[in-house]
Structure 1
């Protein structure tokens, strides 16, 4: 993702339904876990890192891009420049590795998974979210610098292959998948879909994602996949 796209996302992050729903997902997933040391790999502008810190975690961000790291630091988030394939983190030193929408940007995701296991303490957890399904591949992915979208079995293989034990693997943003698929079929140019949304529509989209918490849709195809894994 280039500097212009990162700056655009930063301007949208606080209010946009997708970022807000993703922060809610992180909060809901982590809130009952004992807080400890955490690293947010590919933290971007740091919105999800803030969620961890609000929940009592001693969380830092690792960000590859200069623009993203500068924006995160300007928000008071401890952040270091680093590569997910070679994390600047000591062996077995953190209780949680979180990475939301970062693995799809990295060519060698096997190395990223291995690094996740390396830095986790025994019993530590990984929380990983990635875009789902090559059937949804579009110019949006190209504009954001993605190299893949993940199938469920593929993501499970990466996580298990690194020596982690999967506790949960579910789809996210399921109800809106038909809308996303139709929109991407109609837009072939390499252009990000992240743009300002009317407040009423923004609230409606956020509510649609939130509704999934009470519906049996976690095994259906979604726009994203979320996995929670543990280091034995």
Structure 2
């Protein structure tokens, strides 16, 4: 494992998560009420969430990795809501002409990979129309940062306060900001902090995926006091 670089770990992790369809459906269910108009999915990876977004409206995907985009294109090119994919390093200005009018930017597990995340949020704000929305999911809890994060190239895990401040600084009006996936935080702690792993276990991901319905049921009944991730929705106003 010591010879595997960040790019390889990210690709391996995305491959492992290919079997986590219930997990991605859960994410989709959480963000679905906030989707509107044309959707831009930034950092689409291998298209695990794209599959669900296409049922809600026109979808354009973007990623820095051309091979991921080719994979997603092959998978979804015949879908009526598929608007194509673009190679875009979000640390640079976007292409001048998008194939659709973007009303919602979906950014799942992306911001933590960017050192200057404020500049990215400013860029997203500029790209959106008035009342357009940014939906983001990021790793939560600073104290949970461990070798799993380092292996994936994460610069940080976010506190609720930090994410709130950064969205506010970039002029987004926050519609919701909450913890997500309580049991995922426990697994992340055991794998990364206790066992010092740098790569997710495919066996554990598969077991987690099977138990998602149970986790949803439990989390719906208890206060959202912590979780593996934070879900935030900001609106341009």
Of residues 196, 200, 208 in structure 2, which corresponds to 1:193?
200
Query: Gaps spanning 5+ residues in structure 1: where?
Result: none
Aligned twin of 2:17: 13
2:105–2:124 Cα contact (<8 Å) kept: yes
- Deviation, structure 1 residue 97: 0.5
Do structure 1's residue 85 and structure 2's residue 91 form an aligned pair? yes
Contact between 2:133 and 2:233, CA under 8 Å: does it hold in 1? yes
* Aligned residues: CA RMSD: 2.5
Go from structure 1 to structure 2 and tell me whether the alpha carbon gap of 1:201 and 1:166 turns closer, same or farther (over 3 Å shift): closer
Per-residue CA deviations over 1:173-223 (Å, capped at 9, x if unaligned) read: 11443343233222225x11152348556412x1343225522332x1211
State the number of aligned residues: 225
The CA distance in 2 between the partners of 1:212 and 1:126, in whole Å, is 27
1:209 has 2:215 as partner = yes
**Structure 2 CA distance, aligned partners of 1:54 and 1:224?**
24
- What is the match of residue 61 of structure 1? 61
Post-superposition CA distance 1:118-164 (Å, at most 9, x none)? 11110111110000112111110111111111111111111111111
- Which of 8, 19, 25 is equivalent to 2:27? 25
- Preserved contact between residue 90 and residue 120 of structure 2 (Cα < 8 Å): yes
Contact map agreement 2:23 2:209 (CA 8 A) in 1: no
Per-residue Cα deviation, 1:68-94 (whole angstroms, up to 9, x for no partner): 223222323621111122342559941
Task: Pick which of 140-149 and 176-185 moved more.
Answer: 176-185
- 1:67–1:145: structure 2 CA closer, same or farther, 3 Å change rule? farther
1 CA distance for matches of 2:113 and 2:35? 30
Please state whether the residue corresponding to 2:202 is helix, strand or coil: coil
Kindly tell me: are residues 11 and 185 of structure 1, through their superposed partners in 2, closer, same or farther at Cα, counting changes over 3 Å? closer
> How far off its partner does 1:61 sit?
1.0
User: What is the CA–CA distance in structure 2 between the aligned matches of 1:169 and 1:124, rounded to whole Å?
Assistant: 17
TM-score, structure 2 normalization: 0.83
Deviates more, 1:19-28 or 1:138-147: 19-28
Question: Does the alignment pair 1:109 with 2:117?
Answer: yes
Is there any run of 5+ residues in structure 2 with no aligned partner, and where? 78-83
Give the direction of change, closer, same or farther, for the CA distance of 1:25–1:213 in structure 2 (3 Å limit): farther
- In structure 1, the residue corresponding to 2:136 is in which secondary structure? strand
